[in-house]
Amino acid sequence: MHIDRDIKLDFRDVLIRPKRSALPSRAEVDVSREFAFKHSQHRYRGIPIVAANMDTIGTFDMARALAPAGLSVALHKHYGEDELAGFFGSLEVKSSAFYSMGITRADQEKFERVMKRGGAAVQYVCIDVANGYTESFVEFVAKFREAWPALTIMAGNVVTGEMTEELILSGADIVKVGIGPGSVCTTRGMTGVGYPQLSAVIECADAAHGLGGRICSDGGCAAPGDIAKAFGGGADFVMLGGMLAGHAECGGEIVERDGKRYQRFYGMSENEGTITLVRDPWTVPGALAVEGGEKVRPFMAGETLNWKVQD
């Protein structure tokens, strides 16, 4: 075994040192970006924040709410073919939402059917697996790029520079970076695998940008300052899950305790049917209650995402 003794950092380990600025207020900061993707050649302009393809976050309602503000959503994998074809087919312009998929034959066949029925609006695809270090994953990305040269592909997850380079050279425009940093992700505890998120972002961004690729920091953001740190570390996009939970646009079940309403959300792209509850969530004090791969957030009844986007 090799022990890496270099210092590795999470977002909580650092602060951004202030510098003099000509801007009179934080409200004057423009966080939109514009660039072209390496393989698809699509030109992007928007605010590069993406709602995660978690079962209760990456919803159609979330996509409709965020699109007018220039933000994106990675739709979760569990919508049916008819639902996806109906969503994309109803749009008059290309969507900023990512179609999310795995790498099985069933995933590929489902995607091809959706593209035949409503694919004119699809321009972004997120090829998402828990472990991006397999040959089968890299081969799938390469074949998908060959079959769909005009689509912008985000693929992951990985945390090291060499796999970032491998995926970009295989056809990915954006590499999704992060293993285990999410607030409700149990990967690190269950498998012992992971990497401090800020260091992963710094190293993967350096590798990607050297090849003309982009990265998306996925996980680990618990406050707006963490988003700033991810961008400062070189991330081109930042993916958020738990920070967007608890809103009306989310798909989580509403539960009550002591007269207060909460909304469930899940820290993985699998749906709730795959989660085994390991303890009573209400035995954990505080605003968040842990249920294995599940938590709850106070439900903001009647509130939309507008206030959070503006903030």
Judged by DSSP in three states, 191 sits in helix
What beta strand segments (E) does the chain contain?
Answer: 33-36, 43-46, 49-51, 72-73, 98-101, 124-128, 152-158, 174-177, 214-218, 237-240, 254-257, 260-266, 294-298
Q: Could you give phi then psi for residue 36, rounded to 5 degrees? A: -110, 145
- Beta partners for residue 125, in sequence order: 99, 153
Question: Cis omega (within 30 of 0) on the bond before 131?
Answer: no
Question: How many Å apart are CA 223 and CA 134, to the nearest integer?
Answer: 32
Catalytic, 126? Answer no
Q: Tell me which of 126, 185, 204, 250 is the catalytic residue.
A: 185
Among 98, 266, 248, residue whose Cα is nearest residue 182 = 266
Catalytic residues: 185
